[in-house]
């Protein structure tokens, strides 16, 4: 064999090896882990808030979003406190109360109280003004505020709210948000939100809804393993480039799954 042929064979082997490595990388699940103590934090007295992604004065260029998921805030609102009237546009805003009651008012004329078991979504669309307030002076409110980019800008603003039987999430995954409201409240995005309250030792497979989808798991209570990776209370774990994930509760746990497109 000539030197030229040896070099050509080596190049083919090297190229094939690189291609094979790239193929396997492209077909392996990708993960990102956000420990609870790495979240942004702000204490305004009436509001004690933690940010999984960049928000307000806390800006981290490595934590701008996960796919179409832009904001995940863990908010504690003291008795009598609240967010005054403020404007949003071109965002799907979901509120999930964990404790207490929060009163909502908006420029579409909606007035409602959201409490444990409720899920509220506000499609801000071309623009909406709203306020949220804890009118109970003697008790606090804890809720999750989630922002997801919509499929398009300039949509007609819309408000929706539903209550869910928490017993349905026991050792299962209860869908609370989905496109077109097929399961839960409707969202203008290829996104699904699910809640699960699991006994220690329970396991379940979660299948993503198509190519280029990712899921961000937020651990509300307890600890779980997801694809063999452990996450504990208020940790976040993002997974993508996979058709499904296996979740197992290491102790009695409650989790929120936020599935979104990684590109939109």
What CATH number corresponds to the domain at position 126? 2.60.120.10
Note whether residue 238 is domain-resident: yes
What is the predicted pLDDT for the residue at 12?
44
Note whether residue 217 is domain-resident: yes
What is the predicted pLDDT for the residue at 27?
75
pLDDT above 90 for 208? yes
Note whether residue 69 is domain-resident: yes
Strand residue runs (E) in 12-68: 30-34, 40-43, 47-51
pLDDT above 90 for 117? yes
What is the predicted pLDDT for the residue at 182?
87
Q: How many CB atoms lie within 10 A of CB 224?
A: 25
pLDDT above 70 for 8? no
Note whether residue 210 is domain-resident: yes
What is the predicted pLDDT for the residue at 36?
98
Q: Which two tokens stand for residue 187?
A: 């969202």
Helix (H/G/I), strand (E/B), else coil: 7: helix
Counting the structural domains of the chain, the total is 1
Q: Which two tokens stand for residue 168?
A: 């349905």
Question: Mean pLDDT for the chain?
Answer: 92
For 223-247, what is the mean pLDDT?
Answer: 98
pLDDT-based confidence at residue 23 (cuts at 50, 70, 90): very low
Q: Which tens digit of pLDDT belongs to each residue from 135-161?
A: 899 999 999 999 999 999 999 999 999
Note whether residue 2 is domain-resident: no
DSSP 58: B
Q: Say if pTM beats, i.e. exceeds, 0.75.
A: yes
Q: Which tens digit of pLDDT belongs to each residue from 59-86?
A: 999 999 999 999 999 999 999 999 999 9
Note whether residue 8 is domain-resident: no
What is the predicted pLDDT for the residue at 10?
52
Note whether residue 17 is domain-resident: no
94 is in which domain, residue-wise? Answer: 30-261
Note whether residue 22 is domain-resident: no
The DSSP bridge partners found for residue 225 are 230, 248
């Amino acid at each position: 064999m000539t030197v030229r042929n040896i070099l050509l064979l080596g190049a083919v082997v090297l190229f094939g090896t690189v291609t094979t490595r790239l193929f396997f990388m492209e077909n392996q699940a990708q993960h990102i882990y956000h420990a609870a103590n790495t979240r942004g934090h702000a204490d305004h007295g009436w509001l004690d808030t933690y940010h999984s992604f960049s928000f307000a004065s806390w800006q981290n260029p490595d934590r701008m979003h996960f796919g179409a998921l832009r904001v995940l805030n863990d908010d504690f609102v003291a008795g009598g406190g609240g967010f005054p009237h403020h404007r949003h546009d071109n965002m799907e805003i979901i509120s999930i109360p964990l404790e207490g009651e929060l009163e909502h008012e908006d420029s579409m004329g909606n007035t409602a109280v959201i409490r444990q078991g409720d899920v509220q979504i506000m499609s801000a669309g071309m623009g909406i003004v709203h306020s949220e307030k804890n009118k109970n002076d003697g008790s606090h409110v804890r809720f999750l505020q989630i922002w997801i980019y919509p499929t398009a800008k300039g949509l007609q603003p819309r408000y929706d709210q539903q209550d869910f039987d928490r017993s349905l999430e026991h050792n299962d995954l209860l869908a609370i948000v989905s496109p077109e409201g097929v399961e839960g409240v409707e969202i203008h995005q290829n996104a699904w939100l699910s809640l699960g309250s699991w006994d220690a030792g329970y396991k379940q497979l979660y299948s993503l809804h198509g190519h280029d989808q990712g899921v961000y798991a937020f651990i509300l209570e307890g600890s779980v393993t997801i694809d063999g990776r452990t996450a504990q209370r208020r940790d976040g774990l993002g997974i993508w480039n996979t058709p499904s994930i296996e979740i197992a509760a290491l102790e009695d746990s409650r989790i929120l799954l936020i599935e979104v497109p990684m590109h939109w």
